[in-house]
A and B are shown apart, each in its own frame.
Chain A
Amino acid sequence: MTPISKIISQRVALGALTLWIVSLIVFAGVQFLPGDVATELLGQSATPEAVAALRKSMGLDIPLYLRYFDWLGSILRGNFGTALANGRDIAELIKPRLFNTLFLAVSAAVISVPLALLGGIVAALYRNTFIDRAINVVTLASISVPEFFVAYILILVLAVHAGILPSLSDVDSETSVLGRLTAIALPSLTLAVVVLAHMMRMTRTSIINLLGNQYIETARLKGLPEWRVLVRHALPNALAPIATVIVLNLAYLITGVVVVEVVFVYPGLGQLIVDSVQKRDVPVVQACSLIFAATYVLLNLTADILSIIANPRLMHPK
């Protein structure tokens, strides 16, 4: 086995282990919430007998560990069960929501990642000048302001005053791609502003950290212009930390969008999980939590693999 495939399979195994632990926590955590669906459905005045009967019919009286394996097994087969609140199939319930969330995340990433890289390189190129400071102040400000505030400012400017973009992102399965893009313009802008700063600052710092290296001096003594020194000689060596930050932010774009989805009334996964928690719809909450966890694990795995690919010592062993 080559060192790389060994490292990668180790990471994959670790990721699977993490997911399994998460499944335990998700399952156990929901069990420990006060009350359960039966009491919720029947209300405060229900008789204990009625509650017990409902629990039995819903399978809530089976021992915990058996219910866990049952649940895990069916999830592994792609069966998330049915929502308690309305009896719909959870997989069917989640599918369009997950698509919406991913669509929003991808469009935010498409805006923010190139901008972050470019801004980071420009800030590093003009380090300690006015341009660098200006970029610094703007990014710091955007990182410090809560995302709902950014959202309302954008609505105020672009929807209310300029009137060019809709303030509500109501989409359904009938909406065309163009319609979708218009609808999510504001939320994806909001998200882009929120994640941009972190990625941009990391790009700048990673590049500047490398400038003390001797190979940078070698590049300068070859007569390379400074932007080429940064892009060709510093950036490739800074890829690992930059990739890690970008991927972490992508994960945030998927799992941290609850507030933005609520502000723009966007039918994504975040809204679904909030609604389901209110309704104590345990299977839906569990399914959403697992999807969020899997996203994190998968994206972190991607970051690890990207770091390995960016390291020539691992890609091209002696």
Chain B
Amino acid sequence: MNNQIVRKQQLSRKVVYLNVQGEAPVGDTRSEDEWVGKPDTLLNIRNLRIEAAVHPPGESPMNAILVHDVSLTLKRGRVLGLIGESGAGKSTIGLASMGYGRGGVKITGGEVILKGRDILKVGADGMRKLRGREVCYVAQSAAAAFNPAHRLMDQVVEAALLHGMATRTEAEKRAIALFKKLGLPDPENIGKRFPHQVSGGQLQRVMTAMALCSEPDLIVFDEPTTALDVTTQIDVLAAIRDAIRDTGVAALYITHDLAVVAQVADEIMVLRNGKLVERGMTQQIINQPHEQYTRALVSVHHIDHVQKDCGTEPVLSVKGVTAGYGDGAIKVLRDVSLDLYPGQTLAVVGESGSGKSTLARVITGLLPPLAGSIQFDGRDLSRRLAERSREDLRQLQMIYQTADVAMNPRQTVATIIGRPLEFYFGIRGAERNHRVAELLDKIEMGKSFAERYPAELSGGQKQRVCIARALAAKPKLMICDEVTSALDPLVANGILKLLLQLQKEEGVSFLFITHDLATVKSIADSISVMYRGQVVRYGPKGQVLAPPFDPYTDLLLSSVPEMEVGWLDKAIRSRRMESAGN
């Protein structure tokens, strides 16, 4: 009897593959047989379950379920966006469509049907034959994903040659055509270079060309523009989208940035903690999200922040600072002047290499400037950290991008937060514990966290502890260096709200360094735009963000993806200045 049932299932599946039916359904509410396997269905993932062995600190190893029962279908030539925060299982699902699991990740249930066969059942050799031929992968950081020891061309054509899809001459010809299509400079010769000789944005395009070179049916794009500067991202995004359209390849486009995926995808799946939250056409997800969580993602940057008026006396005044590395041979900052007023936030915004973090190092005294001065609270600050008084050190606190490495992993939260209390104020014992509990309340965590170790906290909680540690010194100025960049959008939003709240209560000033203009808009009172070591625009927020713009600020502002279908086309059309260096 059992045999009969199995046979029946096999038969029905076979029939379904030959069956042409109407529009692809949304979600998986209908029975499988209704929507599975139309002839133009390329990928059909059913009830995918993925687990990994994890080793939580202080506990015995256990199996964590990364993906619960996720199903999806993808037609030929279509683009499905997978979106969610870290831990949502997006990359895991993307790699599963190639039958690949990172580290100890294992696919423990479900089917991945590619072109009519379950690739989880084809064995190791069968899997190798489809990887790089039927499905290709574009990684987040092309800089790390290219082998530094080989020339680009050798890597681009490798898969096509390996799978016997083309001769070397044919493959190279195709690669050069793809380089041209993706807008790479000098397409004939760029393949002769090594990865380190090419910029990040260009490498990302070369990687896309590499994926397209063996003419696959499906490409998995895993956050392909996340590591790029915003003005580079827009060009790469447009190049990738056009390449997908022109070649007719299907794609899984994985990102945490809804505004980015809205420009590329036909459909979007929202994932959270390895489960499907919502699936729909891109228009619908952006404009009429059904689920609460999707709505939160769509409106993530809507913090109401009214710009405060300038005070009279600045708390921090940077005057004509020039600084550099290597005995001043390389100047990273040139004649930078800024004022920050008490209780306000000055956002320093710019792309990588613009000198933002160097400015923070100069203000904290870690890098003595070559010229210029820094006034704090009306008096000159020593240029060197070693010459500053303990009081100066206390007044000026720093919060870093990666909270992970800014804390001693072997100290408890109470020790970490309590240290500035002991160091600056000599507070010990019960009084210290009391103050630590107060600070933990301020960062909305509560004293139950006091005895935990950093490894037992989430990313957002770690950053909150770092904020509490800075706050414990009762500083006048806090320098926040990309403090939300490593966090998921919703968590980052929580941190920003907390910082604004603390500013209101404590009157502390923030020097807020970031590359993210959305963050700037939601937190700043005044803004300084930096480009190649110089301040190109500086003033109150309303003024800086209002036209007329200088060319660089215009480029920067027009490059930030907006939560709007079709934004990319408009932006590309209206761009007035070529992206710098890319």
- A: residues with CB less than 8 A from B are 213-215, 217-225, 228, 232-233, 236-237, 310, 312-313, 316, 318
B35 at the A interface (CB under 8 A): no
CB-based contact B145/A222 at 8 Å: no
Question: Which one of A223, A224, A310 has the highest number of Cβ atoms from chain B below 10 Å of its Cβ?
Answer: A223
Tell me the complex Cα distance, A313–B197, Å: 8
B538 within 8 A of A: no
Please report the C-alpha to C-alpha distance between residue A316 and residue B152 in the assembled complex, in whole angstroms. Answer: 13
Q: Is the CB of B131 within 8 A of A223?
A: yes
Q: Does B144 contact A (CB under 8 A)?
A: yes
Please tell me if the beta carbons of B100 and A220 are within 8 angstroms of each other in the complex. yes
CB-CB under 8 A from B150, the residues of chain A are 232-233, 236
CB–CB B132/A215 < 8 A = no
CA distance A70 to B287 in the complex (A): 92
User: Does B341 lie at the interface of the complex (its beta carbon under 8 Å from any beta carbon of A)?
Assistant: no
Q: List 14 A-B contacts (CB under 8 A).
A: A215-B144, A217-B139, A218-B146, A218-B155, A221-B136, A222-B136, A223-B133, A223-B162, A224-B158, A225-B128, A236-B150, A310-B149, A316-B197, A318-B196
Interface string of B115-144 (1 = CB under 8 A from A): 000000000000111111100110101001
B159 to A222, Cβ gap below 8 A? Answer: yes
Report the minimal beta-carbon distance from A59 to chain B, rounded to whole angstroms: 52
Whether B147 pairs with A215 at a CB distance below 8 angstroms is yes
Q: Give the residue name and chain of the B residue nearest to A225 (CB).
A: B128
| A224 and B145 form a contact (CB under 8 A) | no
Pick from A220, A233, A236, A316: contact of B131, CB below 8 A.
A220
Minimum-distance CB pairs A-B, first 4? A222-B132, A223-B131, A236-B149, A223-B132
Our pick among B129, B131, B144, B196 for the contact of A221 (Cβ within 8 Å) is B131
Residues of A within 8 A of B133 (CB): 223
Residues of B within 8 A of A222 (CB): 131-132, 136, 158-159, 162
Additional A-B contacts beyond A215-B147, A221-B131, A223-B129 (20; CB < 8 A): A214-B141, A214-B144, A215-B146, A215-B148, A218-B155, A221-B95, A221-B132, A222-B162, A223-B162, A224-B132, A224-B158, A232-B150, A236-B150, A237-B149, A312-B194, A313-B148, A313-B194, A313-B196, A316-B194, A318-B197
> Would you call B163 an interface residue if the criterion is a C-beta within 8 Å of the partner chain's C-beta atoms?
yes
- Complex Cα distance, B197 from A222, in Å, reads 23
B269 at the interface (CB under 8 A from A): no
Contact residues in A for B159 (Cβ distance below 8 Å): 222-223
**Contact in complex: A217, B158 (CB < 8 Å):** no
Distance in Å: Cβ of A277 to nearest Cβ of chain B? 47
Interface of A is mostly: helix
Which residues does chain B contribute within 8 Å of A318, judged by CB atoms?
196-197
Question: Which residues of the other chain, B, contact A316 by a CB distance below 8 angstroms?
Answer: 193-194, 196-197
- Contact between B146 and A224, CB atoms less than 8 A apart: no
Mark B33-54 against chain A: 1 for CB-CB distance below 8 A, else 0.
0000000000000000000000
**How far is B221's CA from A221's CA once the two chains are assembled, in angstroms?**
13
Contacts of B149 in A (CB 8 A): 233, 236-237, 310, 312
> B163: which of A223, A310, A312 is its contact (CB, 8 Å)?
A223
Contact with A along B289-306 (1 / 0, CB 8 A): 000000000000000000
Name the distance in Å between B133's Cβ and chain A's nearest Cβ: 6
Contact status A218-B194, CB under 8 Å: no
With contact pairs A313-B196, A318-B196, A318-B197 given, residues A221 and B148 touching in the complex (Cβ less than 8 Å)? no
The interface residues of chain B lying within 8 Å CB-to-CB of A313 are: 148, 194, 196
**Is the pair A233, B147 in contact by a Cβ cutoff of 8 Å?**
yes
CB neighbours of B139 from chain A (8 A): 214, 217-218
List of B residues within 8 angstroms of A310 by Cβ: 149
* Bound CA–CA A180/B132 (angstroms): 53
Q: List the A side residues contacting B197 at CB < 8 Å.
A: 316, 318
Determine the residue in chain B with the shortest Cβ distance to A233. Answer: B147
By beta carbon, the residue of chain A nearest B127 is A223
Cα–Cα, bound, A233→B158 (Å): 11
Which of these, A228, A232, A237, contacts B148 with CB under 8 Å? A237
For the complex formed, measure the closest distance between the CB of B97 and the CB atoms of chain A, giving whole angstroms: 11
A213–B150 Cα distance when bound, in Å, is 15
Is B102 an interface residue, CB under 8 A from the partner? yes
Determine the chain B residues whose CB is within 8 A of the CB of A223 once the complex forms. Answer: 127-133, 159, 162-163
Most buried by B among A215, A218, A224, A233: A218
Segment 149-193 of B: residues with Cβ below 8 Å from A: 149-150, 155, 158-159, 162-163, 193
CB distance from B115 to the nearest CB of A (A): 15
Instruction: Establish whether residues A312 and B196, one from each chain, have CB atoms under 8 Å apart when the complex forms.
Output: yes
A213 touches B132 (CB 8 A): no
Q: Is the CB of A224 within 8 A of B144?
A: no
Complex CA–CA separation, A144 to B177 (angstroms)? 58
Q: CB-CB < 8 A to A228: which residues of B?
A: 162
Q: How far is the CA of A312 from the CA of B149 in the complex (A)?
A: 6
Bound-complex Cα distance A312 to B193 (A): 10
Contact B145 A217 (CB under 8 A): yes
Residues of B within 8 A of A215 (CB): 144-148
A224 touches B128 (CB 8 A): yes
- CB of B98 within 8 A of CB of A221, answer yes
A215 to B141, CA, bound (A): 10
Write the chain A residue with the least CB distance to B193: A316
Residues of chain A within 8 A of B148, CB atoms compared: 215, 237, 312-313
CB distance from B251 to the nearest CB of A (A): 15
Cα separation A10 to B36 with both chains bound (whole Å): 67
With most chain B CB atoms within 10 A of its CB, the pick from A215, A222, A312 is: A222
Are A221 and B147 closer than 8 Å at their CB atoms? Answer: no
Residue contact B137 to A221, C-beta cutoff 8 Å:
yes
How far apart are B91's CB and chain A's nearest CB, in angstroms? 11
Among residues of A, the one whose C-beta sits closest to the C-beta of B198 is A318
How far is A236 from B95 in the complex, measured between Cα atoms in Å? 26
Q: How far is the CB of A232 from chain B (nearest CB, A)?
A: 8
Expressed in whole angstroms, the minimum distance between the Cβ of A45 and any Cβ of chain B is: 69
Give Cα A257–Cα B130 distance, bound, in whole angstroms. 53
**CA A232 – CA B145 in complex, angstroms?**
15
Give the shortest distance, in Å, between A230 (CB) and chain B (any CB).
12
